[in-house]
Amino acid sequence: VGMATNIAPHNLVEVVQALRHLIEHPGADLDDLMRFVPGPDLPTGGKIVGLDGIRDAYATGNGSFRMRATTRIENITPRRKGIVVTELPYNVGTEKVVEAIKKLVQAKKLQGISDIKNLTDRHKGLHLVIEVKNGIVPEALLEQLFKQTPMESSFSINAVALVDGQPRTLGLKQMLEVYLDHRFQVVRRRSEFRRAKAADRLHLVEGLLVAIVDIDEVIQLVRSSDNRGEARTRLMGVFDLSEAQADFILDRTLGSLTRFSRIELEKEADELRATIEQLEEILGDDTVLRGVVSDELAEVAQSFGTPRRTVLLESAGQTVTATASLEVADDPCFVLLSATGLLARTTDATPFGDVGNRAKHDVIVSAVATTARGQVGLVTQDGVVHRLDVLDIPALPPTASAPHVQGGIPLRELLSTPAAPITLMSLSDDGPGIALGTRAGVVKRVKPDPVLTRDAWEVVSLADGDVVVGAAPLATGEEQLVFVTSDAQLLRFEAGLVRPQGRGGGGVAGVKLAPGQRVVGFGVVGDVDSAHVLTIAGSGDALPGTQTGAAKVTPLSAFPAKGRATGGVRCQRLLKGEDGLILAWVGDGVPLACATSGSPVDLPAVDPRRDGSGVPVAQPVLAAASPAALLPGLPVVRD
């Protein structure tokens, strides 16, 4: 198979996943395969916005897509903002971008840029800084740069391949099928060759074993022969050997015909027979052959696979207008919030997949079911709910694995609040509402009561210095509420012990705190048997975001339920140098953790001991979550 040019690079791990899925499900359609290969993965990273052209290319072999640079807006001086470009579209260099911007500025077609600096080096990688003049909106300038410079460009796919010597335009499934046919043929021919070699070797070994049994007679026969040809003929006649076996015996030295050599030869013969049996099974059973190819592809992905670099977006997010409402279907979807403060939405309500290879920003702390033209609420640390339009949030393509929001939008681009995000909530009037816990140990259940005329409203009246530590929507109102305090005490009790209150209520006592202690974690659990607790102990003197600490993952079922407003039981034994817990998470399923950058952090294995000590982690942990805790009752696809 020879491939033509004009086909974009793809991610090896994703392609292998699609190939293995096609091996197990030959009748899979394009939608099934695009769950594994949602789009190209360009070595320069960047973003691909709009996937309709990619689907056309995967369906027909011809299509195009738009690539965008990865940018961020930040303060480059105390009084001036700038646009920092860290990734460019495929086949676009920094010189081309700088030249295009300079020409536009000189022609007065682009205004608002005071300077452009190329700070790219081997340490920071690509780093292009575009300084924005005071009084210019950086976001508006960035949109002009996308429209008028190579910071946004198109790539056309023309997937032409030579198949059996004939040029053909292939879609995604056809390309994968042609490659699999090639792999089946390779493995089949390789197995036939190895079986023939093993059979030839076994034939020689069996002849040598016959000779070793009557070694004295063999030696006497060879010594009494006039030449090698006569010795070969007599060996073939006396011991019923083939010519190849007789020559093999004559080529051996006398020292190789000892008793120990016989044991080695018998072992080798057994191994050769087992090898031949395995190879014949591969050649005789198509299911076994397909399994071998699948396993070999998995090994290739394991050895050479790399994480995805290019972010895929169904859309870049847009402002809701009357025109947009007519164009965008009000389909069901999920809005996702990551631990790193990124927001994204799915294109449909397809259940999430299982966790496979970890990716950046894959720790989803909250997800809520809604529609594309709907609205959701975002609860922040100051106890305020902010209304968000779903259409403003970028859409991610469907995936066969657990979701990640690398292509999400930072919360600061949608809201101006300095308070940290806590959870997402539905704005519908039905349901049991949400439960939240504060740093001072207050718990509150809030009735669903969105204020339709406001963009933000309080859901809890906080005391001075108090903040919301955790919150989560309730599914039935019969969940367990769990507090974890800084002195490593855990308290869980039934949500029914907390009377629902309106927006103006200040909550009730949730956990009894020792003097000088605070709540570091609050969670809502639907299934105690599958839920886990993550606690991290460390020094409170370390700067936020720098504490590595010692982590411990424990089944929640190890902790007994107690009454509301009581003290808890110890959930981690503090060691020397640890003055308390610096982070805690409680939820359904086994937790995943990430660092401030969104990079995955490995957690220790589950420790069944209720008050055991933690295991040191290699880097600071920002937050944790579990895919099983995203939406109560949401089915998880396991492929």
pLDDT tens by residue, 377-390: 999 999 999 999 88
Q: Where are the domains of the chain?
A: 70-150, 196-285, 314-629
Give the pLDDT of residue 405.
83
Q: Classify residue 540 as exposed, middle or buried by CB count within 10 Å of its CB (0-12, 13-18, 19+).
A: exposed
Please report where in the chains the tokens 């790219």 appear, as a residue.
120
Which CATH architecture group holds 314-629?
A: 6 Propeller (2.120)
What is the band of 325 on the pLDDT scale with cuts at 50, 70, 90?
A: very low
In this structure, what token pair is assigned to residue 228? 């090698």
Is there a contact between 357 and 426 (Cβ–Cβ < 8 Å)?
no
What is the band of 220 on the pLDDT scale with cuts at 50, 70, 90?
A: confident
- At residue 578, φ and ψ (nearest 5 deg) are -105, 115
Kindly report the average pLDDT of the chain as a whole number.
Answer: 86
What sign has the CA pseudo-torsion 239, 245, 249, 250? positive
CATH match of 70-150 with 3.30.1360.40: yes
pLDDT tens by residue, 572-629: 999 888 889 988 999 888 888 888 888 888 889 999 998 889 888 877 776 677 655 4
- Nearest CA to 563 among 622, 508, 487? 508
- Nearest CA to 381 among 430, 423, 333? 423
- Nearest CA to 340 among 616, 545, 525? 545
Cα 254 off chain centre by: 62
pLDDT tens by residue, 36-76: 899 999 999 899 988 889 999 999 999 999 999 999 888 88
- At residue 152, φ and ψ (nearest 5 deg) are -130, 125
- Nearest CA to 445 among 417, 421, 475? 475
Cα–Cα dist 17/301, whole Å: 9
pLDDT tens by residue, 221-255: 888 888 999 999 998 988 899 999 999 988 887 77
Strands 113-118 and 128-132: antiparallel
Query: How far, in Å, are 304, 435, 445 from residue 432 at the CA level?
Result: 48, 9, 8
Q: In the chain, what percentage of residues exceed pLDDT 90?
A: 49
HSE-CB for 12 with a 13 A CA cutoff: 12
Is there a contact between 404 and 343 (Cβ–Cβ < 8 Å)?
no
Query: How far, in Å, are 191, 362, 572, 602 from residue 625 at the CA level?
Result: 46, 9, 19, 13
Cα–Cα dist 456/132, whole Å: 31
Give the pLDDT of residue 189.
96
Cα–Cα dist 446/297, whole Å: 51
What is the band of 634 on the pLDDT scale with cuts at 50, 70, 90?
A: very low
**Residues near 307 by beta carbon (within 8 Å), at least 6 away in sequence:** 357, 359, 360
In this structure, what token pair is assigned to residue 339? 């631990």
Check pLDDT > 80 for residue 419: yes
Query: How far, in Å, are 371, 438, 442 from residue 511 at the CA level?
Result: 37, 10, 7
Q: Give the DSSP H or E segment for 467.
A: none
Q: Classify residue 31 as exposed, middle or buried by CB count within 10 Å of its CB (0-12, 13-18, 19+).
A: exposed
Say which amino acid occupies 579.
Answer: D
pLDDT tens by residue, 355-366: 667 778 888 888
Say which amino acid occupies 435.
Answer: A
Say which amino acid occupies 495.
Answer: A
- Nearest CA to 247 among 223, 229, 226? 229
Cα dihedral 203/205/207/212 (nearest 10)? -170
Region for 6 from its dihedrals, namely left if φ exceeds 0, alpha if ψ lies in -120 to 50, beta otherwise: left
3-class DSSP state of 264: helix
- Provide, for the chain, the percentages of residues in helix, strand and coil under a 3-state DSSP scheme, each rounded to the nearest 5: 30, 30, 40
HSE-CB for 123 with a 13 A CA cutoff: 1
Q: Find residue 240's DSSP bridge partners.
A: none
pLDDT tens by residue, 2-20: 444 578 999 998 999 999 9
Check pLDDT > 50 for residue 319: no
**Under CATH, domain 196-285 is a member of which superfamily?**
Topoisomerase, domain 3 (1.10.268.10)
3-class DSSP state of 385: strand
